[in-house]
Amino acid sequence: MGTIHFVYVKPGAEAQAGAGAPAWWRWARSAGEKLRGATGENGPMPAPYSITVNLERFLRARGRVRVYDWRETGAIELGEDDILIGHPHADPDTLVQQTLRRGVRCRLRALMFPIHHGMPEISAFTLPLVEQADVVFGITGPYWHDTLGQSHFAPWKKKFVRLDLAVDAEEYPLVKRRFNPAGQRGYLYIGNNRPEKGSEVLSATLGRLKEFPRGWVGGGPEIAEVPRIATYRRLDREFISALAEKFDIFVNTSVSDANPATILEAMAWGFPVACTPQSGYYKMPTIVELSTTDVDANERKLREMQEAPEEQLVAVSRKNRELVETQYTWERFCGTVWKQLRPYT
């Protein structure tokens, strides 16, 4: 067996996207700071670092592994028995781009990155790389995977393997154990304000619900009608418990978002979730589906959650917690990757 060359976002590395890179691909610039400590020292390690750490640990238990940061430049010298699995960066001088463009052969050439195509300009640079790859692990919820055939990824649809994101439920304690009375329930959003996050939809929707508490934790420009609680800070138990006293429903109105970890984290903490399919999660009985275009429908659904019996919200909360504990796990995430790699090791 050769070496598995794993290229992803390394904890502790300065995340500096190249000048001129699409805005979405600069998400790693603040990923280590995003709401928690840069390397997990002050709380749960955030994605994408959690992906690197968990998959590296899993692969090292099964063979030789070399890990690189996705912003490193040059090309990897691959042996015939080696495997490449990597996150492409928009900079054409970086490792994954250079290695694939040079056409070096090895046992398997795999890509692994968040997949969403509602804003195709974000991932357009990956298309020549997808063509060169043997397999593509799409870190994505069911919505974007189910609609690959209507996207610019359609010619290579058969190469894609859906890879649901994961969190360690033990690091995200169940803190939402009771709900405020009907008419006093708050709506919470955690995440950045980038174009793909749909802040205009969030603003328009929560602007219809001004009589209820509304709050937001995250970076970026202000979101009208959604008061900011904090920018980047630790999401430790004390802070989340305080949020759980005031807020009851987690809302996400992304217009093109692969599989945000914040939704899984909210589910683990016990918040019922209302989100758009374009947030990556859809056709899930315990998630209320919002729209990127129909604000009237969004308002109606969130008001229905406002008036729902507490026992109904508690049941949804517990079911979502169960899903995080049993389905959105690192065991399943890593096992899905290994199923594809194992025949080539």
**Is residue 63 domain-shared with residue 146, that is, in the same domain?**
yes
- pLDDT by residue (tens digit) across 279-298? 999 999 999 999 999 999 99
CATH assignment of the domain containing 313: 3.40.50.2000
For residues 80 and 222, state if they share a domain: no
Query: Do residues 61 and 194 share a domain?
Result: no
Residue 135 has a CB neighbour count (10 Å cut-off) of: 18
162 forms beta bridges with: 138
CA distances 202 to 217, 264, 274, 285, Å, are: 13, 19, 11, 22
pLDDT digits (tens, 9 = 90+) for 117-130: 999 999 999 999 99
What residues make up the domain containing 312? 170-326
User: Is residue 46 domain-shared with residue 102, that is, in the same domain?
Assistant: yes
Alpha-carbon distance of 230 to 41, in angstroms, equals 20
Contacts of 177 (CB under 8 A, 6+ apart): 244, 270, 314
- What is the pLDDT averaged over residues 46-52? 92
The predicted structure's pLDDT at residue 180:
98
Provide the number of structural domains found in the chain.
2
Whether residues 162 and 256 fall in one domain:
no
pLDDT of 66 higher than 80: yes
Are 138 and 259 part of one and the same domain? Answer: no
pTM: 0.90
Q: List the structure tokens of 43.
A: 């709380």
In this structure, the answer to whether residues 109 and 21 fall within a common structural domain is yes
- Which of 41-45, 97-101, 117-121, 258-262 has the lowest average pLDDT? 41-45
Q: Which two tokens stand for residue 229?
A: 């609680």
Same domain as 141, residue 45: yes
Pair (16, 161) in one structural domain: yes
DSSP string of 101-161, one letter each residue: HTT---SEEEEEEE---SSGGGTGGGHHHHHH-SEEEEE--HHHHHTGGGSTTGGGGGGEE
Residue 77 shares a structural domain with residue 219? no
The DSSP element (H or E) to which 227 belongs, if any, is none
Give the amino acid at 7.
Answer: V
Average pLDDT of the chain is: 91
| Alpha helix (H) residue ranges in the chain | 28-31, 49-60, 95-101, 127-132, 142-146, 199-206, 237-246, 261-269, 295-307, 310-326, 330-341
